[in-house]
Amino acid sequence: MDRSDDDTAATARVSDVSGAAKVIAYVRDKLISGAFKPGDRLPGERDLCAQLGISRPLLREGLRALSVLGLVEVQQGRGTTVGRADIGALGDALVFCLAQEPNVVEDVLQVRTAIECQAIRLACTSASDADLAEINDKLETLVGSLQDPERGGIADHAFHLAIVKASRSPSLITMYRAIEPLLMRSHVQRRRLVIPDQDVTLHLVDSHREVFVAIVNGDPDEAERKMREHFQISARLHRARFLKMARGDTERAGAR
């Protein structure tokens, strides 16, 4: 979000706020208050711009901004409706935005860690038998796909998502889904950069299993600890690629 607009949007009733920001604030207030629900039809553009006291092109600017975030859907001849909270669209927008920002993507992993560590604690007490079966299923799939970066990345993510779902917290799940495309991309890229190695693979499988066992045992502290260990192992694996790359460079220099 453009920050200057964001700050001023918070005081949308002040008359010096830009026109498009008025639209954003109007819709924001209605969404947060619950007055607008998914599928609701907004007033027509001519009515809405009269209501907000701005011109139609400005109104359209604001609506365009909201539509790019999936918060409204604008259709010619039909009108503008409140979006159905399309988390996937949000995640795709994020991938588009952050494709060139590897440092930001690394930091987003902090959010991932936060969510998963809270989720696994909740899963220890909230997970149903079906949830546990689902996680186990994803674990088996993961084990069977460790040699393939694409399928491995997908399976890894599915395992983690199953744990988040087992938390039974809608907010955590929503949040996780928002960063999902980024995580997927990150998983797959990381796997492409690392040559699979027997020891590492087994170690990784064990780590996933220990996470699952901790959930089944139902001890939140233990489960969180295992999850954090798991992330550390992954991070070490990621860092190990630099050693291999460094050795690779040395060998090339020697060959000249």
Partner DNA sequence: ATAACAACACTGGTCAGACCACTTGTTCTC
Partner DNA sequence: GAGAACAAGTGGTCTGACCAGTGTTGTTAT
Residues 41-60 that bind DNA (CB under 7 A): 42, 44-47, 53-58, 60
The torsion defined by the Cα of 41, 42, 47 and 51, in degrees rounded to 10, comes to: 150
C-alpha torsion sign, points 89, 93, 95, 96: positive
CB 224 within 8 A of CB 117: yes
Closer of 53 and 170 to its own copies (Cβ): 170
Element holding 173 (H helix, E strand): helix 170-193
Pick one of its own copies, DNA, none as the site partner of residue 53 (Cβ within 5 to 8 A by kind).
DNA
The residue with tokens 């492409």 is 192
- From its own copies, DNA, none, which one binds at residue 42 (CB under 5 to 8 Å depending on kind)? DNA
Q: Binding its own copies by CB under 8 A: which of 43, 47, 51, 68?
A: 68
| Partner whose footprint covers residue 145, from its own copies, DNA, none (CB < 5 to 8 Å by kind) | none
DSSP state of 41: B
Token pair, residue 49, equals 């711009």
Q: How far apart are CA 229 and CA 129, in angstroms?
A: 25
- Please report, as ranges, the residues that interact with its own copies according to CB under 8 A: 1-3, 5-6, 20, 24, 28, 31-32, 34, 37-38, 57, 60-62, 64-65, 67-71, 73-74, 84-101, 103-104, 107-108, 110-111, 113-115, 117-119, 122, 167, 169-172, 174-175, 178-179, 181
- Please report, as ranges, the residues that interact with DNA according to CB under 7 A: 18-20, 42, 44-47, 53-58, 60-61, 74-80
